[in-house]
Structure 1
Amino acid sequence: MSRDPPVVVVVDAKTPGNIGTIARAMKNFGMTDLKLVNPPELDPDGEAHGFAGHAREDVLPNADEVTFEEVVANYHTVGCTAITGEDSRRHVRFPFKTPRELADSLRTVDAPTALVFGREGRGLDNEELAQLDEVCSIPASDDYPVLNLGQAATILLYELRDLTVEETQLPDVERERAEEADIERFHDYVGDFLDASGYKPVKRDKTRRLVRRLVGRAHPTDREIHTLLGVLRRATAQLDHRSELLDEYDEPDRWDK
């Protein structure tokens, strides 16, 4: 990534544990620069450091105390709020973006960016939001839309991860799909199995198409497709052997009844 990740600003937090939770989420999702406006005392033996996990080693102790005015003056700012305006007549909180929409729009913003979170309970007030460049809000139940400060920050930072994290602990799922040649072998075995089981010829093509669509949506892994190949190969061989025995002893095929 060519640009620096956004900085995270927490305004007037009252609970040290929330600051620790935010610091941990920052470390999870590739952000390191935490700035605090009017923070509570962060005791090294207190809950902020306890909730921060490994972020107590770098993100939390390196946090800067700043003023709100300094943030506004030096960054492209995104204010985070649970309560939004419904239309353009309430312009302080409208328009707003969801975290996913914000992730898309920030790809085109080539400027130092700050994600600004407000205090517990009432968040950022209208006067503060009016000084910020953008507004972001997390869709939640209309009955209870206000999230815990630490939870809200974690959700937003997760949605921005493609801008801040080059590689995660998860494998590249695009490389896990089985080879196309093996998938085609599976489809051939499906045809052999249908033939050996005496499946009605008029239904075979349709059934094979449905199986192909199902497998196409499933994106089976190499192990999964080879397991299925083994099952079909064994089942088809047993059906073929059964047919040979029936032919040898000239017994009626009860399956045809």
Structure 2
Amino acid sequence: MISVAVVDAETPGNIGTIARAMKNFGLEELLLVDPPELDPDGEAYGFAGRAREDILPNAREVPFEYLRENYHTVGCTAVTNEDARKHVRYPFKTPRELADSLTDIRADTCLVFGRERVGLTNDELAGLDEVCSIPAAADYPVLNLGQAATVVLYEMRSLTLESTQLPDPDHERATEREIEGLHDQFGSFLEAIDHPEEKRAKAGRLFRRLVGRAHPTDREAVSLRGIFRRAQQRIDRRERD
């Protein structure tokens, strides 16, 4: 299932536009982080079209951490780092590449959109699994929030419209609990090997991006956690001896 989250939107109308695009392209679950008030007689419902009947009334307000704990998360941003030495907004996928990568994956995925003026912050993106960006003209790559969401959701249509016949996914991604446990174990491992403290956050982001693209299964996540745990235990024994 693909869900949509909008973080700290300033304009109710943009939420209505996103809900309408969701209705157009077969998505149903809308999650709102710190939303403005959505008046049934206001612009959110006015812009939503038929989404005012179900998607908007059923939208749920959740904290940002809820997204990380329950979904494979994809942060959607216009601004990227075109440099492999940076790991907050790089590497990123285009919407079409993202849709292709999710075709054979069984995982609840949430597309996360940020604020109208500044989008998602670096701190927010650092905690998400993948990054998606829309290719646009270099001299003006920033799209309106509603427009950006519509483009991304259009590319997801091959995964969400019932009229499209897709093969059953043959790869089931590990649960978010296992994935977050793997990240925690990796963090403990960095501490055990005395990785420079000032570099641990960057190493953690690099690892999160790698895992986010790899979509490990439960067995793979458990095995990797076990490897890191055994390495940490061996280091601890040697230090005691």
**Normalising TM by the smaller chain, what interval?**
0.5 to 0.7
Give the residue type in structure 2 aligned to 1:124: L
Structure 2 Cα separation of the partners of residues 108 and 84 of structure 1: 26
Q: Are residue 55 (structure 1) and residue 35 (structure 2) matched?
A: no
**One of 26, 46, 60 as aligned partner of 2:42:** 46
Residue ranges of structure 2 left out of the alignment (5+ in a row): 165-241
Give every structure 1 segment of 4 or more consecutive aligned residues whose post-TM-superposition deviation is greater than 6 Å: none
Q: Which has the higher contact order (CA 8 A, sep 6+)?
A: 2
- Tell me the TM-score normalised to structure 1 length: 0.63
Give the residue type in structure 1 aligned to 2:145: L
Number of residues paired by the alignment? 164
What pairs up with 1:129-140 in 2 under 5 angstroms? 129-140=125-136
Give the residue type in structure 1 aligned to 2:41: D
Give the residue type in structure 1 aligned to 2:76: C
Q: Are residue 120 (structure 1) and residue 141 (structure 2) matched?
A: no
Deviations 1:135-186 (A, max 9, x none): 0000011111110000000000000100000228xxxxxxxxxxxxxxxxxx
Matching residue of 2:69: 73
- Tell me the TM-score normalised to structure 2 length: 0.67
Residue ranges of structure 1 left out of the alignment (5+ in a row): 169-257
SS at match of 1:116: strand
SS at match of 2:153: helix
Matching residue of 1:209: none
Matching residue of 2:83: 87
SS at match of 1:82: coil
Structure 1 Cα separation of the partners of residues 112 and 104 of structure 2: 19
Structure 2 Cα separation of the partners of residues 143 and 151 of structure 1: 18
Identity fraction in percent: 74
Q: Which has the larger radius of gyration?
A: 1
Instruction: Report deviation, 1:87.
Output: 1.5
Give the residue type in structure 2 aligned to 1:33: E
Structure 2 Cα separation of the partners of residues 135 and 109 of structure 1: 17
What pairs up with 1:1-257 in 2 under 5 angstroms? 4=1, 6-167=2-163
